[in-house]
A = this chain, B = another copy of it.
Amino acid sequence: MKHFTSIQDVDNLSSLLEEAKQLKHNPFLYETFGKHATIGLIFFNPSLRTRLSSQKAARNLGMEPIVMNINEDSWKIETEYGVIMDGDKSEHIKEAAGVIGRYCDIIGIRSFARFEDREKEYKEPIIQNFIKYSGVPVISLEGATAHPLQAFADLITMEMYKQTEKPKVVLSWAPHPKPLPQAVSNSFVRWMKAAGYDLVITHPEGYELCEEFTEGIPIEYDQKAAFKDADFIYPKSWASYSQYGKVLTQNRSWTVDAEKMELTNNAKLLHCLPVRRNMVVSDEVLDGPNSLVLEEAENRVVSAQTVMKQLLTPNQTDSGELIV
């Protein structure tokens, strides 16, 4: 693994899951593995879970994390090439990435979609420029189109709780007052595919995700039909992809509640958090015995630590064997 920006960077998912299980069981097994290494955690957007879990993951490996809020601790960044920089952006991403790469052995980047220019944002210019110019491994801490550390944590959690080899999983669109990125949903779809789980997506018409991600996955517009016999329910809001960044409806008939959960096979509830209570999912379900959301958040340390360990390993295979 050279970078970690999507499932496509993973060579061998099952050996990655094996390593995750090992680190979940013993977080300090490799506590000097990252000695003398620095990880830069660069936030263009706010964060709670990612901020805390990635610092903790780094420390568990003996690395030094340095956290930076761009735009707040620093200044605005230009991403276009060839421009005369006479505006409000003080530094070009080429220098910013180049410099941070001189200070850090790994760089984590959080950079959300802004819903301004779909074509541009779906190319992930911030993350891709860091890959191009920093010269070190880059981890997505959630980009415009993907949040692979979250999807990996989701999968780790499901592997712990699943009761059949290939469980039925429903990704269920949810109402929300603000337009949310498609990143979590896109990644979840891809990781479920890679794990061979039986995924169904349900959402109102107009909320179709980018086909590049959903190709081959059934879409069921009837939420109740989708829930039938499900083993895991993952409610999640996202803004429209076709009408990029629009909130088409806030229809609360899509809120996941106890009645809908009755339709499932005693399904477990997943959510990446933060969650809008009684918009996305009812208090009753979120606080109920089948809710895995805190376990899932806890596994964010495991997914981050597993990925960081891989990226620290020179010429490694995904099985974690060192080829020195």
B279 to A85, Cβ gap below 8 A?
Answer: yes
Question: Is A246 an interface residue when CB atoms closer than 8 A count as contact?
Answer: no
Q: In the complex, which of the residues B83, B252, B274, B279 contacts A277, with contact meaning CB atoms closer than 8 Å? A: B83
Q: In the complex, are the beta carbons of A74 and B99 less than 8 A apart?
A: no
9-residue interface stretch from A40-48, A206-214, A215-223, A314-322:
A40-48
B-chain residues with CB within 8 Å of residue A289 when the two chains form the complex: none
Q: How far is the CA of A301 from the CA of B36 in the complex (A)?
A: 14
- Which residues of A, 213-245, contact B by the 8 Å Cβ criterion? none
Chain B residue numbers with a CB within 8 Å of A102 are: 294, 297-298
A209 to B40, CA, bound (A): 37
Q: How far, in Å, is A158 (CB) from chain B's closest CB?
A: 17
Stretch at the interface among A2-10, A64-72, A114-122: A64-72
Contact A99 B68 (CB under 8 A): no
Q: Chain copies in the assembly?
A: 3
Q: Which one, A88-96, A160-168, A259-267, is touching chain B?
A: A88-96
* Contact present for A96 and B48 (CB under 8 Å): yes
Shortest A104–chain B CB gap in Å is: 8
Q: A40 near B52 (CB under 8 angstroms)?
A: yes
Please report which residues of chain A, range 266-305, place their CB below 8 angstroms from some CB of chain B when the two chains form the complex: 273-279, 283, 287, 293-294, 297-298, 301
Tell me, in angstroms, the Cα distance from A68 to B294 when the chains sit together.
Answer: 19
The answer to whether B298 and A103 have CB atoms under 8 Å apart is yes
* A73 touching B99, Cβ below 8 Å: no
With A59-B64, A85-B278, A103-B301 already in contact, the answer to whether A74 and B91 are too (CB < 8 A) is no
The reply on A100 being an interface residue by CB < 8 A is yes
Which residue on B lies nearest to A28, using beta carbons? B36
Q: Is the CB of A177 within 8 A of B48?
A: no
Q: In the bound complex, how far is the Cα of B83 from the Cα of A102, in angstroms?
A: 46
Chain A 19-56 interface residues, beta-carbon cutoff 8 Å to B: 28, 36, 38, 40, 43, 46-49, 51-53, 55-56
- Cβ–Cβ contact B277 & A85, under 8 A: yes
Do residues B85 and A56 form an inter-chain contact, with CB atoms below 8 A? Answer: no
Contact A177 B86 (CB under 8 A): yes
Nearest B residue to A252 via CB reads B84
Q: A56-B103, A81-B283, A177-B86 are in contact. Are A277 and B73 (CB under 8 A)?
A: no
Q: Give the B-binding residues of A (Cβ under 8 A).
A: 28, 36, 38, 40, 43, 46-49, 51-53, 55-56, 59, 64, 66, 68-69, 72-75, 78, 81-87, 90-92, 94-96, 98-100, 102-104, 177, 250, 252, 273-279, 283, 287, 293-294, 297-298, 301
